[in-house]
Amino acid sequence: MRNWSKIGAFCFLLSSTFLFSQNERLIIGRTTGKLAIGNNQEIRTFGFTNSLSGQVTLPGLSIEAVEGETVSIDFWNISQGNPVSLFCKEIDFVQRDKENKVMKKEEAIHHMEHGFYSFQAQKAGTYLYYSPENYPFNLQAGMFGVIIIRAKDQDSSALQPLQELLWCSSELDTKWHTDAIMGTEYDSSNKPIVLPKYKPEYFLINGKMATDSKGLQSLGNKNEPLLLRLVNSGLYLHEIVFPSPVKLQLRYGNEASVTALPDGCKIQLRSGESIEVLVFLENVDEKEHIVYHFTDPVLKKKVYEAAIPVFY
């Protein structure tokens, strides 16, 4: 009888372990990505994938979790250059050693080594994570991704959109993407890379030219609310101006980022900032556009503007 009790207790513990299992992810840091821009021009990028054969994209691997979960990350650095690490401004990453002990001092991960991170998904929202080593080079080179934390208990009275869209905007300076710079030889001391002055020529959303974005939603679904996630993974100030018929409802993020205008509404995101808004388009004309502004934060000057149709 006692043996059966032990077996029952073991089964209960085993099932409990699976019920409350951690959210585990593999992230691979790579320096061999390729990005097609402009007139079929291809440039080299860095990036985060979850497999050796996975194509590097901008943004890189997305991490999804539910409030209350513990997310564990095995970060494998196969990049040829300087050591790299993982970081998020709004989320505390805990780094552990191979014995799963919390490290007193965080360390960058060297070539062909593994780094072990974990974090608590405490607050629903959308967040940018990236490699802070040689900042801002690794970020601009492509070593960034998005963390999406969903609310654990959805309010049954709150509107739940059927569609979701992520717009992760950035800039790109091709002079930072030459083989001479991106092929910097490994240096265990993580010596900073010498970079030319930042003068981006391309302005992107999800790794593609901003002007190539097809729009928020199909015209046939204009009466359906849309959850829009906006992330600034660039170094410039990004302003997104919506025409007046568009109605926005803040879901997660800083309400100070949203400003009402006489003829619309503006969302302003500094480097690394993000926001989630519910978008209502039922009263929007099919010919309306959203305008993306990319502004140099030092000169306070708008460098680029992209007009994107609301509907496709």
What is the structure's pLDDT at 9?
38
pLDDT (tens place) for every residue of the chain, 312 residues total: 444 444 343 343 333 333 344 699 999 999 999 999 877 889 999 999 999 999 999 999 999 999 999 999 999 999 888 899 999 999 999 999 999 999 999 999 999 999 999 999 999 999 999 999 999 999 999 999 999 999 998 765 566 787 999 999 999 999 999 999 999 888 888 888 899 999 999 999 999 999 999 999 999 999 999 999 999 999 999 999 999 999 999 999 999 999 999 999 999 999 999 999 999 999 999 999 999 999 999 999 999 999 999 999
What is the structure's pLDDT at 162?
79
Asked if residue 157 is part of any domain, the answer here is no
Q: Which domain holds residue 234?
A: 163-309
Secondary structure of residue 310 in the 3-state scheme: coil
Residues 65, 122: contact at Cβ < 8 Å? no
Co-location of 281 and 303 in the same domain: yes
CATH code, domain carrying 36: 2.60.40.420
Residues 149, 67: contact at Cβ < 8 Å? yes
Asked if residue 156 is part of any domain, the answer here is no
Contacts of 160 (CB under 8 A, 6+ apart): 154
Asked if residue 109 is part of any domain, the answer here is yes
Asked if residue 43 is part of any domain, the answer here is yes
The DSSP 8-state label assigned to residue 163 in this structure reads E
| Gap between the Cα atoms of 275 and 267, Å rounded | 9
| Gap between the Cα atoms of 106 and 93, Å rounded | 10
Co-location of 214 and 130 in the same domain: no
Listed residues 93, 115, 150: the one ending a domain:
150
Secondary structure of residue 240 in the 3-state scheme: strand
Nearest 5°: phi and psi at 39?
-85, 70
What is the structure's pLDDT at 7?
39
- Compute, in degrees rounded to 10, the torsion defined by CA atoms 146, 152, 154, 160: 20
Domain count of the chain? 2
Question: pTM score, two decimals?
Answer: 0.90
Co-location of 7 and 146 in the same domain: yes
Name the residue among 285, 85, 96, 80 with its Cα closest to residue 182. Answer: 80
